[in-house]
Amino acid sequence: MATAPTYCTHRQLKDVFPQVDSFDNKKALYGWKEVTTNKYAAHNSGLTTQLFADGEDLGAAQSAHTDLNVEGEWFYNSAEDITYYYSASDPNDKLMEAGEEFSSLITRITANASRYLDAKLDPNLPKEQLKDKEGNFDYIIIRTTALVAATFLIRSHDPTSEVATALMEDAQSNIDSLNEGKASLSWQTTGDSSKGVIREVGTISGAIRPLDTRGRWSGDWDLIQVKITTAGVLGIATYSVFVKNADSLKATEVVSSRKISGDFQSLAGTLEVRFGGSADDSAAVLDDEWEIEVSGWQEEVDNSSINSVRMTRRY
């Protein structure tokens, strides 16, 4: 069965809020009294869903306190609010804690924060966020989820925390930017998508690279490949360009080994590209490669701040 995505990991949460590990929700249980041989009871313990002895998770509870007869077994009686524990040694000499294993807590909190973010984002955005081609969520989504998760953790200890308030204000600012179209996500078609977005492929060794594009892409989406086919300086180096065909990307050559002049030159369709370097003697290196992602200029811009308004005439 498919599950809803969680937008940030424990590591990413810690990157945003390094103090996260100090908000473990376990609480110490004191005042254990031996009720029968090796069976101890902690009165008024509060709800105990997991029990730990010196940091060790004691596993699932037994079905009744009368079943306790093996070292480490325990049971929580909700009617009496008593936690029972079977031990050959006095639990008052151990660190006994009730709570939840921290990694499980983080998993639940980050999932809750992800669903909270889904609910707060404008309905024009996806109900569940999309990953980029590298399989990652956009950083603004990761960071905002982490800020919300950190707020939830802090407020579980201190509901009036000023730190939690500041973190939530930061998260809300990101949410507002997304809802108002002031921040864009990687999957969105933006106003300049028809001009192309240039990205490096692998490690670029040369000093000459595509600097700018102009024109408007008239087709649908494509991932244009630009590749250096002859090394050298301006006027000697050459480039080739490939676009998709019906079967695959970067399959059809539309520009073949054209000399790089430094001015705007043909890219694909009605688009042009300009190469340049930091100095007159900058050189291109064979097989340096770039991708230029384009969307047709007729494509609708994904902007959550633009909404249709239904109007009717009243008589």
pLDDT, one tens digit per residue, over 89-141 is 999 999 999 988 888 889 999 999 999 999 999 887 777 887 876 788 999 99
Q: What is the pLDDT of residue 301?
A: 53
The pLDDT of residue 123: 81
The whole-number average pLDDT for the span 38-42 is 96
Task: Report residue 142's pLDDT band, with 50, 70 and 90 as the boundaries.
Answer: very high
User: What is the sign of the dihedral through the CA atoms of 189, 190, 195 and 196?
Assistant: negative
Tell me if 4 is assigned to some domain: no
pLDDT tens, position by position, 278-314: 898 999 999 999 999 998 866 645 554 544 444 444 4
- For range 39-43, the mean pLDDT: 96
Residues 133 and 278 reside in one and the same domain: no
Domain of residue 134, residue span: 10-23+102-179
Residue 233 belongs to some domain of the structure: yes
| % of the chain at pLDDT higher than 90 | 70
Question: What does the pLDDT read at residue 304?
Answer: 47
Instruction: Tell me what the mean pLDDT of segment 168-182 comes to.
Output: 93
Average pLDDT for residues 77-86, to the nearest whole number? Answer: 95
Q: Considering the domain boundaries, does residue 85 fall inside one?
A: yes
Band of the pLDDT at 207, cuts 50, 70, 90? very high
How far apart are the C-alpha atoms of 207 and 228, rounded to whole Å? 12
The answer to whether residues 220 and 113 belong to one domain is no
Residues 89 and 112 in one domain: no
Of the pLDDT bands very low, low, confident and very high (cuts 50, 70, 90), residue 45 is very high
Q: Last residue of some domain: 51, 73, 98?
A: 98
pLDDT at 190: 61
What pLDDT does 80 receive? Answer: 93
Same domain, 226 and 159: no
Across-strand partners of 227? 240, 289
pLDDT for 101 equals 81
The residues facing 27 across adjacent strands are 98
Whether residues 174 and 243 share a domain: the answer is no
51: pLDDT strictly greater than 90: yes
Same domain, 15 and 154: yes
Query: For 29-41, what is the mean pLDDT?
Result: 95
Are 206 and 290 contained in the same domain? Answer: yes
Residues 242 and 283 in one domain: yes
| Cα angle 113, 114, 119; round to 5 | 95
* Same domain? 19 vs 134: yes
Tell whether 221 and 75 lie within a shared domain: no
Spatial contact of 41 and 82, defined as CB atoms under 8 Å apart: yes
Q: Is the model more confident about 185 or about 177?
A: 177
- Last residue of some domain: 128, 153, 179? 179
- And the tokens for 312? 């009717």
How high is the pLDDT of residue 315?
A: 45
Residue 90 lies in a domain: yes
**Does residue 314 lie within any of the structural domains?**
no
DSSP state of 120: H
What is the reported pLDDT for 302?
52
Q: Is residue 189 part of a domain?
A: no
Report whether pLDDT(263) > 90: yes
Partnered with residue 253 across adjacent β-strands are: 242
Encode pLDDT of 147-160 as tens digits: 999 999 999 889 99
Instruction: Tell me the pLDDT of the chain averaged across its residues.
Output: 89
Domain identity same for 81 and 153: no
Residues 18 and 162 in one domain: yes
Domain count, the chain: 3
Note whether 259 and 237 are within 8 A (CB).
yes
Per-residue pLDDT, 308: 47
Domain end position, chosen among 179, 214, 243: 179
Q: What is the amino acid identity at position 245?
A: N
Which tops the pLDDT comparison, 52 or 305? 52
SS3 content of the chain, % helix, strand, coil (to 5): 25, 25, 50
Q: What is the mean pLDDT of residues 246-275?
A: 95
Q: Is residue 185 part of a domain?
A: no
